[in-house]
Amino acid sequence: MTHPIRFGFGAIAISSCLTLRSRPKGGVSKGEAATRAWGALTAVLLLLASPAAAELRIDITSGNVEPMPIAVTDFWGAVAPDIEVGREVARVVAADLERSGLFSPIDSRAFIQTPESLQAAPRFGDWRVINAQALIGGKAERQADGRLKVEFRLWDVYAGQQMAGLAYFTTPDNWRRVAHIVADAIYKRLTGEEGYFDSRIVYIAESGPKDKRVKRLAIMDQDGENHRYLTDGRNLVLTPRFSPSTQEITYLSYYGKRPRVYLFNIDTGQQEVLGDFPGMTFAPRFSPDGNRVIMSMAHNGNSDIYSMDLRTRKQTRLTNDPSIDTSPSYSPDGKMVAFNSDRGGSQQLYVMNANGSGVTRVSFGKGRYGTPVWSPRGDLIAFTRMADGQFYIGVMRPDGSGERLLTEGYLVEGPTWAPNGRVLSFFRQASGGGATRVYTIDLTGYNEREVITPLDASDPAWSPLIP
């Protein structure tokens, strides 16, 4: 176990009016849990010099933007372990921001002002000289009670103003997560969009020859760190998906040569089969409230969609058609379901009400469409499209309009949304049994990046922001 999934964490916000604020919305309950465990864990908003006049902001809707040059200084520490942590936190913050494609961290060897002198005040001239648009500084400090305090400040270099400042208290081994939270705060302040760095990806790690492939559940931070395997590879496993709490995964396992949908509890490692169906269950996903799992059940050559209440374990049949009905995905308000069906003669995308009524076909382009996944913002559905011997990842509005293809290849499949609905992950398999790897790509179709994994990787599923 390299990374405790649940841990005490909190942040205190110091503003000019000393308002206590909790970071992401879900952080309130986390804060309460943390308080129970730790007494006082909070985040503090650091004093703003004055309200910013002309906002430093990136418009991220236009696509191929020139990355904003930013200076991320080492977070300053007074003593050896704090110096080390401060340097690592800054490195993770800079890497997150760089990978988004929106920011270009400047080589620290160009920096004139030292992190220590930055603790007093920025000399903005020193940063204008190297063309830094934004400046990030911070401090790491071990507290007397053993907790780690990490604070950061974000400055608009040309306006000469502080844009954000927060301090976080946590356990020292959680420094990496604090770094992601800092990066999210900076991303949000500079783009106006929610961040997505404090999140994880669960996926299928693949090894061995293609005809005897060993597949294991694996989990990692969105940047590939804190990687670990959740299953040992004895049973074929496929298509893992996070619960909204990020504490559970639903997936397909061939345990006992019976392909069925399972729940995996990340905290306990416990696995349980979901439901008692006469046939194969597959293609599971949680409902947005986490109370249901929607999935396909195949019996006597026919696949239909079912929804299961996780408390009562009552199963509700949503489709009843002799076609293949699979890959269901709820809309974020839980009122609609997108799914995949060949009821019209070929594999296409459909949308229906959550009770199974009002089935409407939404894909009409050339070729076949699969794996619809509703954006967490509700505005788009991502999909896999197959046409002219190629595979594509694309998005369309839930009514089928505005289709855009983001990337293509011999085999690209299985899009999953980052929690802010701005970035997607998917997997790409080379032809001829070549490498299979997980990638991320911006919603604009730019900035495609491989997520480095120890083995081949497929079926990524991005978590919500960690509560």
Partner 1 sequence: MRFISAPISATLFAVGLLLAACSSDPEVAATADTGGTTTTAATTETGQVTPGSSEDFVINVGDRVFFGYDQYDLTPEAQAQLEKQAAWMQQFPAVTLSVEGHCDERGTREYNLALGERRANAVTNYLVALGVDPNRLQTISYGKERPEMLGSDESAWAQNRRAVSVVN
Instruction: Based on the shown chain and the rule CB under 8 A, indicate whether residue 411 belongs to the binding site for partner 1.
Output: yes
Quote the least distance from Cβ 164 to partner 1, whole Å.
Answer: 42
Binding mask 145-184 for partner 1 (x = CB under 8 A): ----------------------------------------
Q: What is the dihedral of CA 73, 74, 77, 80, to 10 degrees?
A: -160
187: three-class secondary structure by DSSP: helix
Binding mask 430-449 for partner 1 (x = CB under 8 A): -xxx----------------
268: three-class secondary structure by DSSP: coil
By CB under 8 A, the residues from 315 to 354 that bind partner 1 are 324, 326-327, 340, 342, 346-347
By CB under 8 A, the residues from 39 to 98 that bind partner 1 are none
Instruction: Based on the shown chain and the rule CB under 8 A, indicate whether residue 231 belongs to the binding site for partner 1.
Output: no
- β-pair partners for 260: 253
Q: Which residues neighbour 229 within 8 Å (Cβ) at sequence distance 6 or greater?
A: 205, 216, 217, 218
Query: How far is Cα 457 from Cα 438, in angstroms, rounded to an integer?
Result: 6
Instruction: Based on the shown chain and the rule CB under 8 A, indicate whether residue 283 belongs to the binding site for partner 1.
Output: yes
Determine which residue in the list 174, 231, 250, 303 makes contact with partner 1, applying CB under 8 A.
303
Quote the least distance from Cβ 369 to partner 1, whole Å.
Answer: 9
Instruction: Based on the shown chain and the rule CB under 8 A, indicate whether residue 413 belongs to the binding site for partner 1.
Output: yes
Query: CB-wise, 158 or 254, nearer to partner 1?
Result: 254
Instruction: Based on the shown chain and the rule CB under 8 A, indicate whether residue 233 belongs to the binding site for partner 1.
Output: no
Determine which residue in the list 414, 419, 421, 460 makes contact with partner 1, applying CB under 8 A.
414
Distance of CA 398 to the CA centre of its chain: 21
Determine which residue in the list 103, 155, 282, 392 makes contact with partner 1, applying CB under 8 A.
282
Task: Give the pair of three-digit tokens for residue 140.
Answer: 């790491």
Long-range contacts of 360-363 (CB under 8 A, 24+ apart): 361/400, 362/338, 362/396, 362/398, 362/399, 362/400, 363/396, 363/400, 363/403
Task: Give the pair of three-digit tokens for residue 388.
Answer: 């002219």
Residue pair 429/162 in contact by the 8 Å Cβ criterion = no
Q: Interface residues with partner 1 (CB under 8 A)? A: 209-213, 215, 236, 238-239, 252, 257-259, 279-280, 282-283, 296, 298, 300-303, 324, 326-327, 340, 342, 346-347, 368, 370-371, 384, 386, 410-411, 413-414, 429, 431-433, 459
